[in-house]
Amino acid sequence: MKIISTISEMQNASQEARMAGLRIAVVPTMGCLHEGHISLIEKAKQLANFVIVTIFVNPTQFGENEDFSTYPRTFDRDCQICKDLTVDVIFAPQDNEMYHSDASTWVEEIQLSENLCGKTRKGHFRGVTTVVAKLFNATMPHKAIFGQKDAQQALIIKRMIRDLNFPVEMIIAPTIRENDGLAMSSRNKYLSEKERKTAPIINQLLIEIEEKLLNEQAISVESLKEYFTSSITAVGGKVDYIEIVDANNLKNITDKQLDDITNTEILIATAVYMNTTRLIDNQLILHNDVS
């Protein structure tokens, strides 16, 4: 396994792989790898024969008061995990390799980015789309694997690929969870023992809301949101947002739409603070294929 830190060396390696007829899959990550990332890498291995994992804690997607400086960095352990999975290349650039000090170009999606995390994390998705575009240009992949855990991010990147004609096929892989349902996340490391015990309630409530949506008549969006918020508050958490949206455009679902949801793919998405740790999760209702 090669560890590459410059864009030019990465492009050369991908160019060579392409010349050799290999199919390249990239798995972009911020490191601190866990089973969720591993599932994406395994998917990449199934779909391609040259697998690149990028490890880059991207400064431009963190807000001023967010956790960029404290974000967990476990590079040596991440390298061992990738090696064990027979990854071909880790692309791990430094900040100044990715961003010139006078960089002044952004890639920005302006519709899907408005709702959900976009409301409280201003500029976050602009950082994400910019870095993913740059990572695509550096790694030149045929396929890119992202997780459903970050549902809004996945949808925005899919839109960016379409709108900017990136020759990249995007694959979205399911959310991997702990046994008690908590979505795996590098940020789970921040949780105290007590918060870790409480955190699975997020997933439990999302499933409850899904069941209510599917089985109960004359239900209102507001009552479901209130139920979620009061239940989270009762265990000491704080809801950043809980929204029920159309899974294809992230627009809020109306009560009228709830009367007949058989033709609407619905996403129930949330961000919850456990003390200072912000956790996101979502439940996707695809009819005939509920996941």
29 touching ligand AMP, by CB under 6 A:
yes
Q: How many residues interact with ligand AMP (rule CB under 6 A)?
A: 17
Q: How far apart are CA 113 and CA 244, in angstroms?
A: 15
The question of whether 287 is a catalytic residue gets the answer no
- Tokens found for residue 82: 């990738």
Residue indicated by tokens 């139920």: 227
Of 95 and 259, nearer to ligand AMP (C-beta) is 95
Of 14 and 29, nearer to ligand AMP (C-beta) is 29
Identified binder of ligand AMP from the candidate list 78, 88, 109, 150, rule CB under 6 A: 150
Smallest gap from Cβ 150 to ligand AMP, in A, equals 4
152 touching ligand AMP, by CB under 6 A:
no
The maximal CA–CA distance of the chain, rounded, in angstroms, is 59
Residue numbers 203-222 binding ligand AMP by CB under 6 A: none
The number of residues making up the chain comes to: 291
**Helical (H) or strand (E) element with 148:** none
Identified binder of ligand AMP from the candidate list 43, 134, 149, 225, rule CB under 6 A: 149
- Tokens found for residue 146: 């992202």
146 touching ligand AMP, by CB under 6 A:
yes
Between the alpha carbon of residue 83 and those of residues 1, 3, 51, 55, 276, the distances in Å are 6, 10, 11, 14, 33
Identified binder of ligand AMP from the candidate list 44, 183, 201, 285, rule CB under 6 A: 183
40 touching ligand AMP, by CB under 6 A:
yes
Q: How far apart are CA 36 and CA 145, in angstroms?
A: 12
184 touching ligand AMP, by CB under 6 A:
yes
41 touching ligand AMP, by CB under 6 A:
no
Q: How far apart are CA 48 and CA 231, in angstroms?
A: 44
Identified binder of ligand AMP from the candidate list 30, 140, 155, 206, rule CB under 6 A: 30
43 touching ligand AMP, by CB under 6 A:
no
Of 224 and 269, nearer to ligand AMP (C-beta) is 269
Three-state SS at 261: coil
Residue 266 contacts residue 214 (beta carbons within 8 Å)? no
185 touching ligand AMP, by CB under 6 A:
yes
Q: How far apart are CA 284 and CA 7, in angstroms?
A: 36
37 touching ligand AMP, by CB under 6 A:
yes
Q: Which of 37, 100, 124, 287 is catalytic?
A: 37
Residue 170 contacts residue 157 (beta carbons within 8 Å)? yes
Between the alpha carbon of residue 51 and those of residues 4, 82, 140, 152, the distances in Å are 13, 10, 11, 24
Smallest gap from Cβ 149 to ligand AMP, in A, equals 4
Positions that interact with ligand AMP (CB under 6 A):
29-30, 36-37, 39-40, 146-147, 149-150, 173, 175-176, 183-186
Active site residues: 37
